[in-house]
Structure 1
Amino acid sequence: MPIIKSNKLLFNADYVVRYEAGCQARLIEPDNMVSSSMPITKSDRVSILVWNIFKQKRLDCMRLLEEYADNTTLLILQEAQTTPQLLNFIHSHHKIADQVPAYAFKDVYSGVMTIANIAPIKSIGFKEKEPLIRIPKSALVTQYQILDHKRTLLVANIHAVNFSFGLKIYRQQIRILLNQLVSHEGPIILAGDFNSWSRQRLHLLYRLIRKINLKMVNFSSDIRKTFMGRPLDFVFYRDLKIEQAKIVHTNASDHNPILVDFIIS
């Protein structure tokens, strides 16, 4: 599964890179919308794993992904790196992965990645530079056909900018992403690492989420990654019902993965 070598990949926020078993990695343009007869799930259930995988630095990271590969509809990952191990995982499980590379080092790209069993009918990528260190964070919106063929499932995956003076850049990144959700008619999942470590960031996030009528997934045992006492990882949704939601304790990353089973309403 070759890796694309292109400056266009790194600096054009409108491009997504797709990795697919048996195919060369390729750039996906934002206006490249395709009709698909293949629904993302053959039932009314959608299961997701949301996880900042810490650049796959820890030994058990790939083992945990293997554990959930076949019983989750979507893997919504942050800090995913296109290492041989992750690319082999995509290939061996016949998955399709869309990534928005935030940056590259030695031809290994890092950024948010959404992995499914089928290709999305549309993918749009976004990047926002960290105000202090100037390394971008990325976000990705993918749309998938669902069983009724009348609507699509929109999935938004974000790794929010981290340390900044004030809320300007943080607000800008969240708003740009949410603008893609406002006009969508159908179920929505918005998930990722929101870096909501301050009271101001958390209040802003909640306010913007309420404006577009998304609900927040809560957990009976909340062991999400926190910083300064506030959770960083969230799942928001619309036009879905929660069947179950839990967090898995692991040492395979500095974040614990979130598992949610939805029913499409």
Structure 2
Amino acid sequence: MRLQGATKTLLLGAALALGGCLEVPERALLSNAFAPTADCLYPSLTPFRPLPARFSVLTWNIYKQQGEWQPELARWADGTDLLLLQEASGRERLYGWLNERDLTWFQAAAFEWQRLPTGVLTASRGKAAQICAERITEPATRIPKSLLISRYPVRGAAEQLLVVNLHAVNFSLRGRTYQAQLDMISRALSGHHGPVIVAGDFNRWNARRQRLLQRWAEQEGLSEALPTPDVRTRFWGYPLDAIYYRGLTLEQAESMLSHASDHAPLKAVFSVPSR
């Protein structure tokens, strides 16, 4: 969301709805490797490819690839083990870029515009053991937002890594829908004893959302990976994007300026703690 994006998002939602260009698909999950489209996939027929014990994560709202995204994505994401994109539009250039790098990817299509699926997309050098998609509808615009929940084996970890790729709702009366989206993540974390990463565009652009997010993170035992330097996109002083984690050692985190998107990419390096 751009800093002036609140009004723009409302107008876009109205225009799409009235124009009949926006469609919400029955299922939310799209993959490059598995033909079935479903809310959850268990790709157990393929051997797991574990992530390394020291791995990197990049999260970026790619702004539907409207800017010159390829040079920036290549600069920041080449060599990255986990790539979490928000506002990824299902264009062949993006899918081709991922496939050329032998990345396994899944997309939770929040909606389709001009027959292009749009939503969060998770790509990895490891192969996931499970992938699930969730959606929630914006109260004001009626445009859905999506999240992806993935599980990966990691070398040296007794339990699998749970990764949540989130694009949070922009508008929510008294934060109710925002909290409902956080509750979705809590249900995924419930009973999971392995390491966790929750990252993406949290759209925390006011004090209420900051309080809800901070309280939720504390309840879930999550820490925020604060970047140095910190050039994240801010609205009213609050950074929109974040990486939260638990059960891992944070080695470094940084954010980078972008000319291709209204959001700055955020990257972190983690390692599995010694037993």
Q: Does TM, scored on the shorter chain, surpass 0.5?
A: yes
Q: Is 1:45–2:73 an aligned residue pair?
A: no
Residue 63 of structure 2 is aligned to residue 54 of structure 1: yes
1:17-166 to 2 correspondences below 5 Å: 17-20=30-33, 26-30=36-40, 32=42, 34=44, 37-41=47-51, 43-59=52-68, 61-148=69-156, 150-166=158-174
- Measure the CA separation in 1 of the matches of 2:228 and 2:103: 31
User: Following the alignment from structure 1 to structure 2, what is the Cα–Cα distance between the partners of residues 260 and 173?
Assistant: 24
Give the one of 169, 175, 179 matched to 2:177.
Answer: 169
- Classify 1:198/1:76 alpha carbon distance in 2 versus 1 (closer, same or farther; 3 Å): same
Contact 1:35-1:121 at 8 Å conserved across structures:
no
SS in 1 for 2:164: strand
Structure 2 counterpart of 1:205? 213
For the 8 Å contact 2:129–2:150, the answer to whether it is kept is yes
Please, which runs of 5 or more residues in structure 1 have no aligned partner? 1-7
Residue number in structure 1 paired with 2:191 = 183
Amino acid at match of 2:25: L
For 1:11, the aligned partner's letter is E
TM-score (normalizing by structure 2):
0.86
Using the aligned pairs only, state the percent identity.
32
Return the match for 2:230 from 222, 230, 240.
222
Runs of 4+ in 1 over 4 A off after TM superposition: none
Please report how far the alpha carbon of residue 164 of structure 1 lies from its aligned counterpart in structure 2 after TM superposition: 2.4
What amino acid is the match of 1:48?
V
SS at match of 1:17: strand
Q: How far apart, in 2, do the equivalents of 1:53 and 1:245 lie?
A: 19
Distance 2:133 2:165 in 1: 10
1:29–1:166 Cα change, 3 Å: closer
The alignment partner of 2:25 has SS state of helix
Per the TM alignment, residue 165 of structure 1 is displaced from its structure 2 partner at its CA by 2.1
Match of 1:243 in 2: 251
Note if contact 1:19-1:26 (Cα within 8 Å) is conserved in structure 2.
Answer: no
With the length of structure 1 as denominator, give the TM-score of the two structures. Answer: 0.89
Structure 2 unaligned residues grouped into runs of 5+: 1-22
CA 1:208–1:33: 2 relative to 1, 3 Å: farther
Aligned to 1:3: none
Query: What is the CA distance between 1:241 and its match in structure 2?
Result: 0.8
Q: Please state whether the residue corresponding to 2:185 is helix, strand or coil.
A: helix
CA distances 1:208-252 after superposition (whole Å, capped 9, x unpaired):
111011111112322111112211101100111111110111211
Q: Which residue does the alignment assign to 1:10? A: 25
Distance 2:198 2:181 in 1: 14
CA–CA distance in 2 between the matches of 1:11 and 1:162? 23
- 2-side partners of 1:69 and 1:28: how far apart? 27
CA deviations 1:58-116 (Å, max 9, x no partner) are 02x11122223431101011001111110111221111111110110122110001001
Amino acid at match of 1:202: Q
Pairwise CA distance, 1:25: 5.1
**Aligned counterparts of 1:205 and 1:110: Cα–Cα separation in 2:** 25
Give me the CA root mean square deviation.
1.9
Distance 2:236 2:107 in 1: 29
Q: Is the 8 A contact 1:248 1:256 kept in 2?
A: yes
